[in-house]
Structure 1
């Protein structure tokens, strides 16, 4: 039975009374498909384009315990996060078990989803009414992009309005279901990691000025080609617009990626081969190294997978076939466990 949910308009954890029940949360990965405006002359900067996907995902269970602890994937990160949400109270903590985790520093939004999952679980257990934006702010996530928060809340294809004058997550300006037949080819490179943390802040600060004409062109592509293609399920229009957006943004970020639009050259090469074999919407998610490409059906995805999987494995890459996810995180209550002791 669901323990908590997000309601539209704003989104809030709908809590039940404070309880000792364990809470299980499954949170989706997201792709960052590009920025609308890195120029910022209108007073808002960035403006992210994103998509929630069904795999990989983060799944964790949170229960009351004598002290804060975590096991499984990303355990150190999890303990630091639960301290932000629950503080330090002698003899009163939370035990977190992370059975699955979105790969860290891969451009898939792992940090935001982990923070939101832990924060939502603590809020549900304690009976606190918090919006997803509240949780993101407490967890120090979402200051630049709102797509991770919206992916957790309701999934789908997402565009946010960019960072304004506050530290709250940017407002979502568009959210649409993703065509159920389309598939996303993910190209993972476990050997490489995208820029994150202080290095990411430094990299953004060192980027050259972004031309206003380029920002205007990206917005034109989004409004008159990308979104109509999505709404009419015209993958050709959607994909060609996305590829062009990625080329513009990738060229801008190349100065911080060794002169390339790709963090992993191997990923870039495989993505180009997917394009030659009929895929569209080619690019890199955030700082990478994860690459992506879109195809019109499961059959097309499987054909592409079988054509390239052996080549991918030879250079240490992994190909996954993902669906767009048109729903948010799943939050469930488990049977009342015994209080965990250490």
Structure 2
């Protein structure tokens, strides 16, 4: 059994104030690349995880293994079985880079095990079992449907603390809106090797220290999302889309995420903006930066690699308008 799923951009959380009864909410885009491809077979011995020899990726293998094993354990407990599996990773990208690999690993593992056991479960049910989507629902809904995703966050009565997804065990948020992302638009991703995104205790501490955010920022993000970003995607208006993204990146918790990163992030984003890319920013806690445009961006790849240094990564991709694909 084989599954293929994709990375995602997380443009911003919407509401880390919570005074109106909900928290979180997310804005994100499913990407065609980089992607995750993994296989799974049931075995009689202990569960094993292997990686294709041809892979050349810069990630934390132990972190990836732990996410797979944790999801495997939770699925076995849900199914009331004690089965072992062999997982092989054919294609992968880096964890803790702002591209959402953790959620895709957990959901892919869950989907493969469910199918091998002839159990039909929705993506939402799988996410509840493996405890993903506790803050942002972008990864969960991207896995399910792809496209541009807006999720509705969580009831304050259910989620009482401001926490990242890794530390939040509530159910995934509802999907508010999903649109096809324009096929004509190109996306360039730049990930410097010298910087790590926040994760674990560090990420929890940041959430606790810098929240709640000002309600005026929540209102502005909400307005820009509803009345500028979403219509721009439907009308394929890259200028308005860029204006909305660029303003959102300077508000609320996204502003905090940006301010806590190295100045190199601003240099990368500044280079993209100076070269005419309408929508620029940092995904999630970074360090991956993105640029979205309706023009060709291939000529920027070398300059970005020179700017970021050795072992950094540049991807040129597009939005993906479908969810994960599973094959027998």
TM over 0.5: yes
- Is the partner of 1:193 in helix, strand or coil? coil
Assess if the C-alpha contact under 8 Å between 1:262 and 1:289 holds in 2: no
List runs of 5+ in structure 1 lacking aligned partners.
Answer: 1-22, 255-259, 334-342
Say yes or no: does 1:184 pair with 2:162: no
Q: Give deviations 1:253-309, integer Å, cap 9, x for gaps.
A: 25xxxxx53624323212101100100221111111111111103xx2123335x24
Q: What is the distance in 2 between the residues matched to 1:270 and 1:227?
A: 26
List runs of 5+ in structure 2 lacking aligned partners.
Answer: 52-60, 159-169
Say yes or no: does 1:203 pair with 2:221: no
Assess if the C-alpha contact under 8 Å between 2:281 and 2:290 holds in 1: yes
Deviates more, 1:243-252 or 1:230-239: 243-252
Assess if the C-alpha contact under 8 Å between 1:31 and 1:107 holds in 2: yes
Match of 1:50 among 20, 23, 28: 28
Aligned to 2:166: none
- Is the partner of 2:250 in helix, strand or coil? helix
- Distance change (3 Å), C-alpha of 1:331 and 1:108: same
Match of 1:323 among 318, 321, 328: 318
Q: Which has the larger radius of gyration?
A: 1
User: How much has 1:249 moved relative to structure 2?
Assistant: 3.4
User: How much has 1:183 moved relative to structure 2?
Assistant: 0.9
Assess if the C-alpha contact under 8 Å between 1:188 and 1:318 holds in 2: yes
Assess if the C-alpha contact under 8 Å between 2:12 and 2:254 holds in 1: no
Aligned to 1:75: 65
Runs of 4+ in 1 over 6 A off after TM superposition: none
User: How much has 1:129 moved relative to structure 2?
Assistant: 1.8
The normalised TM-score by structure 1 is 0.83
Deviates more, 1:260-269 or 1:166-175: 260-269
Say yes or no: does 1:289 pair with 2:267: no
Assess if the C-alpha contact under 8 Å between 2:265 and 2:289 holds in 1: yes
Match of 2:263 among 262, 265, 268: 265
Aligned to 1:27: 5
Q: What is the distance in 2 between the residues matched to 1:29 and 1:136?
A: 16
Assess if the C-alpha contact under 8 Å between 2:9 and 2:98 holds in 1: yes
Match of 1:304 among 293, 300, 307: 300
Say yes or no: does 1:143 pair with 2:122: no
Say yes or no: does 1:85 pair with 2:63: no
Q: Give deviations 1:24-56, integer Å, cap 9, x for gaps.
A: 011110110012222111111111000000111
User: How much has 1:94 moved relative to structure 2?
Assistant: 0.8
The normalised TM-score by structure 2 is 0.87
CA RMSD of aligned residues (A): 1.9
- Is the partner of 1:214 in helix, strand or coil? helix
- Distance change (3 Å), C-alpha of 1:250 and 1:36: closer
Q: What is the distance in 2 between the residues matched to 1:163 and 1:234?
A: 30
Q: What is the distance in 1 between the residues matched to 2:255 and 2:181?
A: 28
Q: How many residues align?
A: 302
- Is the partner of 2:241 in helix, strand or coil? helix
Aligned to 1:278: 276
Aligned to 1:59: 37
